[in-house]
Structure 1
Amino acid sequence: MIKTAVVLAGGRGTRLRPLTYVVPKPLVPVGNVPLLAHIIRLLSLHGIERVVVVVNYLGEDIADYVSSRKWGTLVEICDEKPIDTADAVRKCCEMIPSDEDFFVVMGDVLTNIDLTGLAKFHLERKADATISLKNVDNPLEYGLVLLDNDNKIELFLEKPLSLEIYLMTLAYYRRKTRSHYANYVNTGFYVLSPCVLRILKEEPYLMDFGSHVFPYLLENGYRVFGWDMGSSYWRDLGRPKMYLEANRNLLERRVEPLQPRGELKDPAGIWVAGELELEPEAIIIPPVAIGSNVRMGSKAVVGPYVSIGDNCIISPEARIRNSVIWSDVKVGPKTIIDGSIVASDVVVGAGARLGTDTVIGHGSVIKDGTTLTSKVVPPTKALLRRNAEIIYDVS
């Protein structure tokens, strides 16, 4: 079976800002577990012995995180400043066995995809490349894929620009093949043969898998297949609303065997990672994931569908539901947080109201009595400075 995987973890995560101004997207917590850790665990569960993580944006943070953990499998960092997805594999090609098939996986999705099934499908068909596919309601945001009756890919169209292009493409290919699946999209999980590694070395202009490599393979007669991941969970964490949904789905145990961090204290779904201080009449409504060193004040209510990071203080009579709270956050008394994301080192004042689709950036201070709905608050300016570079100017 396949023993090596390349994780593409260099993206800037622009759609998830302001969270990713300070934390790279692969380290964004889902159920108090960094997304990258979920991916590495999944790879390990499917027998992967070597993981190469290709980084770029805030790559030192990812490298520090990887080096500070024990993984149970070999995890290495490749920091060669790739331009795009295919270039990332090209830059780390010396770390990949040249005579073995290997996985390429995106570092910004949450999934419990059956990698063993994907590998078996690929090897049985002696494919040059196999793309994991998911049937979705709206394929326009992803790479469009059309298959023939043997699951061989007839067309790969990366992120169609418009409904018109999408419909014209379907109409054309309807005449060419008896069977096509219009709503299959590219999930960003691939199995590649050694010949693709050779092509990447020989054709340096091939920078992106969706836009360049897969069309090149199809045009030149290579065997490219699509594998239906079926009912497996797959969620792109591209936007804050999708990130909230992924947290909720993990708490609902829809992504098993992946789980929130901590010990399961209640079969209804309460995970606690460390010391938890509950004052009288504090209430936890599952499912909830709570980090270490968390204090809940009297009559505070947390849940359902809430993740709270380490070192948080939830003051008396505060109410949190359908939200993600990162580490080192202080929530003032009688504050209500519903459908919001609060990054680390934030203070939310007494009696504040954070409503649906509100995102609070790192280090912010929300004044007492403030009401925010569908608002984005950027991080403090001091946290936005990286190596004397202002990533984002909040002035």
Structure 2
Amino acid sequence: MNEFSKNIISHNASVIEAMKKLNEVPGSLTLFAVNEQQQLVGTLTDGDIRRGFIHGLSLTDTVEKFMLKSFHKVNNGFTVHDFKTAREKGIRLLPVLNDKGQIEKVYDLKKRQSILPLEAMIMAGGRGERLRPLTDKTPKPMLPLGNKPIIEHNIDRLISFGIEKIYISVKYLGEQIEDYFGDGASKGIQIEYIWEDQPLGTAGALSLVKKFNTKHILLMNSDLFTDTDFEDLYLNTVQQNAFMGVATVPYTTKVPYGIFTTTENQITGLKEKPIYTNYANAGIYILNTSVLNKIPQNTFYNITDLMEQLIAANQIVIHNPIVGYWIDIGQHQDYKNAQEIVKHIH
């Protein structure tokens, strides 16, 4: 709430004081009016003040006469859907109230995409062989992309979706990652490092976390550059009662010829220059924590092994296509492509 302390004003304050305060918070242009018990009783914008003057109010009148008493807020225990509804209504600042009706936190919905009840793990232990010599002295996740390392783009995106606890699995030159981010306090989150004594594949490090504190977790590779909608992936996974949700990348194949469908040597149909769409694994997953006991302890184990186990047991595994951009920075050309894209992102 510290960031928004300037947005608080007494409902008994004069509208002149409110105008001065609004001048101090040009980014949000919203004030929260509170009563003597510090309960939120209204919101005030420049527009509310203008409308008040039009209806005959004067500079000597109090904030209470100008403020909007019907406003959007959420209470503690709110859901992802509540947050999504506020965003869809165009709300900029969303106050969270405690049981007494006092402001406990304020979310800036221009900076926050969602508030997902997830902890996350980023896999960052790989050697990055295909990007040598760039990775000889720098771990691949720490290669610069724009004004910050590749992995920081992913951490910041996770934060924008409300994820506040992130595990990072590290091995090769992991000290550089740990030195750079520390415990996460500088970003207002908690970061814990999971050190792999031996390579553990794309899921083995999950077995080294004693206990996740959320019903679902997000697992992702560290070398991705993407604007994946984590909220969409999470909601689809939960709504379909899936044990795993996998982000996928549509991959289109165009055949430049007329293709026959046949039965033995008989032609049964013709498709002229057909286009086929398949879906590739994007390296981002939502897992129900109930499946984590299937992962062997401290052993090389890939997420695709778990996927195959779940499918074989007829457990629901869904996929969710990525609509925006996605680059797996595995080779030099991928890195160049990502560097080109980041120039155009603000």
Same fold (TM over 0.5): yes
Aligned pair 1:61/2:176, yes or no? yes
**Structure 1: which 5+ runs fail to align?**
139-180, 254-258, 260-395
Determine the structure 2 residue equivalent to 1:213. 306
* Distance (whole Å) between structure 1 residues aligned to residue 150 and residue 311 of structure 2: 32
* Distance (whole Å) between structure 1 residues aligned to residue 212 and residue 139 of structure 2: 24
Matches within 5 A, 1:146-225: 182-201=277-296, 207-210=301-304, 212-225=305-318
> 1:217: how far off?
1.1
Determine the structure 2 residue equivalent to 1:235. 327
Aligned pair 1:85/2:202, yes or no? yes
User: Which among 35, 41, 61 is matched to residue 150 of structure 2?
Assistant: 35
Deviations 1:69-100 (A, max 9, x none): 61122122111334211111112x21522x61
* Distance (whole Å) between structure 2 residues aligned to residue 221 and residue 3 of structure 1: 25
* Distance (whole Å) between structure 1 residues aligned to residue 164 and residue 231 of structure 2: 13
Contact 2:225 2:328 in 1 (8 A): yes
* Distance (whole Å) between structure 2 residues aligned to residue 237 and residue 19 of structure 1: 12
Determine the structure 2 residue equivalent to 1:103. 218
Contact 2:200 2:299 in 1 (8 A): no
Contact 1:206 1:213 in 2 (8 A): no
> How does the TM-score come out when normalised to structure 2?
0.57
Instruction: Flag the structure with larger Rg.
Output: 2
> 1:43: how far off?
0.1
Aligned pair 1:4/2:97, yes or no? no
* Aligned partner of residue 20 in structure 1, secondary structure: coil
> 1:115: how far off?
0.5
Contact 1:26 1:107 in 2 (8 A): yes
* Distance (whole Å) between structure 2 residues aligned to residue 49 and residue 206 of structure 1: 27
* Aligned partner of residue 193 in structure 2, secondary structure: strand
* Distance (whole Å) between structure 1 residues aligned to residue 144 and residue 252 of structure 2: 27
User: Which among 144, 159, 163 is matched to residue 44 of structure 1?
Assistant: 159
> 1:247: how far off?
0.8
* Distance (whole Å) between structure 1 residues aligned to residue 207 and residue 136 of structure 2: 27
- The alignment yields a C-alpha RMSD, in angstroms, of 2.1
* Pair 55,206 (structure 1): closer, same or farther in 2 beyond 3 Å: closer
Determine the structure 2 residue equivalent to 1:74. 190
Q: In structure 2, what residue type is equivalent to 1:94?
A: K
* Pair 60,104 (structure 1): closer, same or farther in 2 beyond 3 Å: same
* Distance (whole Å) between structure 2 residues aligned to residue 36 and residue 53 of structure 1: 10
* Distance (whole Å) between structure 2 residues aligned to residue 3 and residue 214 of structure 1: 20
* Distance (whole Å) between structure 1 residues aligned to residue 343 and residue 176 of structure 2: 26
Taking every aligned residue pair, what percent have the same amino acid on both sides? 30
* Aligned partner of residue 284 in structure 2, secondary structure: strand
* Distance (whole Å) between structure 2 residues aligned to residue 115 and residue 239 of structure 1: 25
Determine the structure 2 residue equivalent to 1:292. none
* Aligned partner of residue 131 in structure 1, secondary structure: strand
Contact 2:127 2:140 in 1 (8 A): yes
* Pair 68,199 (structure 1): closer, same or farther in 2 beyond 3 Å: closer
Matches within 5 A, 1:1-395: 1-67=116-182, 70-81=186-197, 82-91=199-208, 93-97=209-213, 100-137=215-252, 182-201=277-296, 207-210=301-304, 212-230=305-323, 232-253=324-345, 259=346
> 1:65: how far off?
1.1
Contact 1:9 1:55 in 2 (8 A): yes
> Which structure: greater helix fraction?
2
